[in-house]
Amino acid sequence: MESALIPVAYFGISSAISLIALNVSQVQRIYFAPFILLFAMLSFRHLDDIPSWLGFSSLWGLFITIYIMHITAVLYIEKWVLEPMNDADDECVFGIQDHNHRSVSRNLKAAYKVWSNPRWLPPIPISDNGNASTEIPLGQLHPSTDAKRSTMTSFILIRTTKLCAYGLIHQLIATHIFPGHFRPMSIDDFSPHHERYIYRLLFHPTASATAASVVGDIQLRETLLRAVLAVDWVIAAYLVLEGSHHVSALLFVCVLRLDEPEEWPPLFGSMWQITSVQRFWGSFWHRLVVRPYGSHAAVLSRRLLGFEARLGVDKVFLSFCIFLFSGLAHSAVSWQMGQRCGVWRDAAWFVANFGAGAVEVVMQKLGAVLAERMGLGERYHSFASGVGGRVLGFLWVFAFFFWSVPKWQFPKIYCATLLEIYNK
């Protein structure tokens, strides 16, 4: 357990350097970059020292990748500068800073407010070149930052209750659903043969069984396993990320007293927004990576592709880059943790989600046009925005994950299990 302090210490050094860099001029900041990145990468290199319980090691790796993208965007792309803290309410305001009238503690507090805000929640900083970060067309953030102020007692009670509930839900799922319900499991459950489902369902080339629980060579157990995995990753990620978010909120609000309760809005949106793959990622899923990844994508669009990142078609490129960067981050974490089997599947799956969202946009527009030509435009929009459209959209999202998640996870599990068998 003591070894876990090594990556934490490296990250702490990198963070301390970044806090200092936020308080110096843009010309001087470039000298801090090698040290910020060096210690962040050293922390990433020591992922094996983080306990793997509940996936904390992979969570730490993703946290480091988000931090690197966030702090480099803030310092060197958006070029945020800080304005003095307000003496009356001690809140951070962004603008031109005056070093002569600020104490060291206020400098660090202002820098901390930027460092701890990867979602770039309001107030949105303004860059040196006068371009507001909000001009990048990446959509609205779903957490509300103007929620009612909660008392410290209610804040602690609600967050602690949720943490206990998340722990209980995780235990129940692991015990009774996955992998509990499917034990004993074998390597064959994740073989390349079982990775293909739709093809076997349609063509069933080995239809040798006639039992009621078998269609072709597809068994009911296999179908249930895919159905569970299609949503298990969502639930697991939600519980771990929200749980970590609540623990961090309690630490920074109640223990360190650096933040107010309303500065820690929920990470995720409402599950009722899951009516398409696009809305799953844009309205329900956390948006920790959207702004920093989008900032880096904007640089690519300007310097590599030669078009301005705030014009029409480039929105597609920005969205593609955000999904690609997310996939590459997951692949990098898997590689660093020694999971070399099918490591490229992470990036491929995230890109596939981008593709699914793009197809949805095209199909929705085609559907609207056809409905208008047939004189059914009002009915189409009424159905799409009603309960029927929501149910159909939710089923589509489930179907997409039912098909794609095993193609993402099965090869990794299969290869890792083979290696474990051969290394015994």
145-178 per-position pLDDT tens digit: 444 456 889 999 999 999 999 999 999 998 888 8
Which of 40-54, 112-126, 128-142, 386-400 has maximum average pLDDT? 386-400
Q: Is residue 228 part of a domain?
A: no
Q: Is residue 164 part of a domain?
A: no
Sign, Cα dihedral of 145, 26, 317, 323: negative
Residue 278 vs residue 384, higher pLDDT = 278
pTM of the model: 0.87
Q: Is residue 252 part of a domain?
A: no
Number of compact structural domains in the chain: 2
Q: Mean pLDDT, the chain, as a whole number? A: 84
Q: Count CA atoms within 13 Å of residue 214 on its CB side.
A: 9
d(C-alpha 238, C-alpha 170), whole Å? 10
Q: Is residue 207 part of a domain?
A: no
Q: Is residue 177 part of a domain?
A: no
d(C-alpha 386, C-alpha 380), whole Å? 10
The percentage of the chain sitting over the pLDDT mark of 70, rounded to a whole number, equals 82
Choice among 44-58, 97-111, 244-258, 346-360 with the minimum mean pLDDT:
97-111
Helix (H) or strand (E) holding 281: none
Q: Which of 100, 116, 135 is the last residue of a domain?
A: 135
Q: Which of 101, 135, 169 is the last residue of a domain?
A: 135
Q: Is residue 249 part of a domain?
A: no
d(C-alpha 222, C-alpha 394), whole Å? 22
Q: Which of 115, 135, 155 is the last residue of a domain?
A: 135
Q: Is residue 159 part of a domain?
A: no
User: Which domain does 15 fall in, by range?
Assistant: 1-135
The secondary structure of 336-353 as a DSSP string is: HTT--TTTHHHHHHHHHH
Residue 92: pLDDT band by 50, 70, 90 thresholds?
Answer: very low
Question: What is the average pLDDT across 76-96?
Answer: 62
Q: Is residue 341 part of a domain?
A: yes
Helix, strand, or coil here: 259? coil
The percentage of the chain sitting over the pLDDT mark of 90, rounded to a whole number, equals 57
The predicted pLDDT at position 146 comes to: 41
d(C-alpha 164, C-alpha 323), whole Å? 32
